[in-house]
């Protein structure tokens, strides 16, 4: 039993229940109870450290404390597991954007708040990439884009961007005619900046990153916002 504990056994509710049960120490329950989620969780951890290529079905099963074969009760094949992980990563990206959004206290001045929201969304995107490079890479590793996983607000990363752009138009900061192109451009900038920080610009110290992000978003704003 001790061996089981020291290996990568995950403690689900049912496992804990079993462990606190009185009486002689017996084997863990035959049925895990939440194996699918446990496998995804373990696989997310692998992706966090090494990106999508580091997701290894056998290792995920090992960490959960289950035979490799058991995974095939819940996923038809490895790609299905990877897809599930990618979904989690996209949801985490959305949550990172929401967190940055929540950090801003609205002033009540529509134009100012709309611009601040747009910037927050962009910062949240890039922050997620630099803080969780493995998950960021995994999020965009899917072969085909399916339904977009969602954060706490019920919006996907893309949805949050859209809402921020709508806010700019509503506040009269951005011309409605520019909305479509602005969406592509804004997404491209934050996505590109993310990738550059992880690649060619990885020498930029973390402390300087915020300044680079701000300066870039300034230029974006200048192109997007109505001149007055």
Partner DNA sequence: TGTACATCAGTGAACGCGCGTTCACTGATGTAC
Q: Contact positions toward DNA, by CB under 7 A?
A: 29-33, 35, 55-59, 66-70, 72-74, 77-79
Q: How far is the CB of 219 from a second copy (least distance, A)?
A: 5
Residues in touch with a second copy (CB under 8 A):
53, 140, 142, 144-145, 158, 178, 180-182, 184-185, 187-196, 199-203, 212, 215-216, 218-224, 227
Binding partner of residue 58 among a second copy, DNA, none, CB cut-off 5 to 8 Å per kind? DNA
Binding partner of residue 215 among DNA, a second copy, none, CB cut-off 5 to 8 Å per kind? a second copy
Count the Cβ atoms, other than its own, within 10 Å of residue 31: 8
Q: How far apart are CA 76 and CA 92, in angstroms?
A: 24
Binding partner of residue 70 among a second copy, DNA, none, CB cut-off 5 to 8 Å per kind? DNA
Strand-pairing partners, residue 174, are: 225
Residue 171 burial by Cβ neighbours in a 10 Å radius (0-12, 13-18, 19+): middle
Q: How far is the CB of 50 from DNA (least distance, A)?
A: 11
Binding partner of residue 201 among a second copy, DNA, none, CB cut-off 5 to 8 Å per kind? a second copy
Please provide the DSSP assignment of 130-181 as one string. Answer: HH-HHHHHHHT--SS--S----TTS--HHHHHHHHHHHHHHTTSB-GGGHHH
């Amino acid at each position: 039993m001790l061996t089981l504990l020291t290996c990568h056994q995950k403690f689900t509710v049912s496992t804990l229940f079993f462990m606190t049960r009185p009486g002689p120490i017996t084997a863990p329950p035959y049925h895990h109870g939440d194996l699918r989620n446990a496998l995804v969780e373990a696989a997310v951890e692998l992706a966090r450290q090494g990106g999508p290529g580091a997701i290894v079905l056998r290792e995920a099963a090992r960490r959960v404390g289950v035979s490799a074969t058991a995974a095939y009760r819940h996923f038809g094949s490895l790609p299905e597991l990877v897809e599930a992980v990618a979904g989690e990563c996209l949801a985490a990206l959305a949550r990172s954007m929401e967190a940055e959004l929540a950090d801003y206290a609205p002033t009540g001045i529509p134009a100012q708040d709309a611009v601040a929201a747009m910037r927050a969304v962009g910062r949240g995107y890039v922050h997620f990439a630099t803080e969780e490079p493995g998950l960021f890479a995994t999020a965009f590793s899917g072969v085909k884009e399916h339904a977009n996983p969602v954060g706490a607000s019920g919006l996907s990363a893309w949805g949050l961007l859209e809402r921020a752009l709508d806010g700019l138009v509503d506040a009269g900061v951005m011309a409605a005619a520019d909305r479509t192109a602005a969406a592509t451009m804004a997404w491209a900038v934050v996505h590109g900046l993310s990738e550059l920080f992880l690649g060619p610009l990885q020498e930029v110290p973390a402390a300087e990153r915020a300044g680079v992000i701000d300066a870039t978003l300034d230029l974006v704003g200048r192109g997007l916002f109505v001149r007055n």
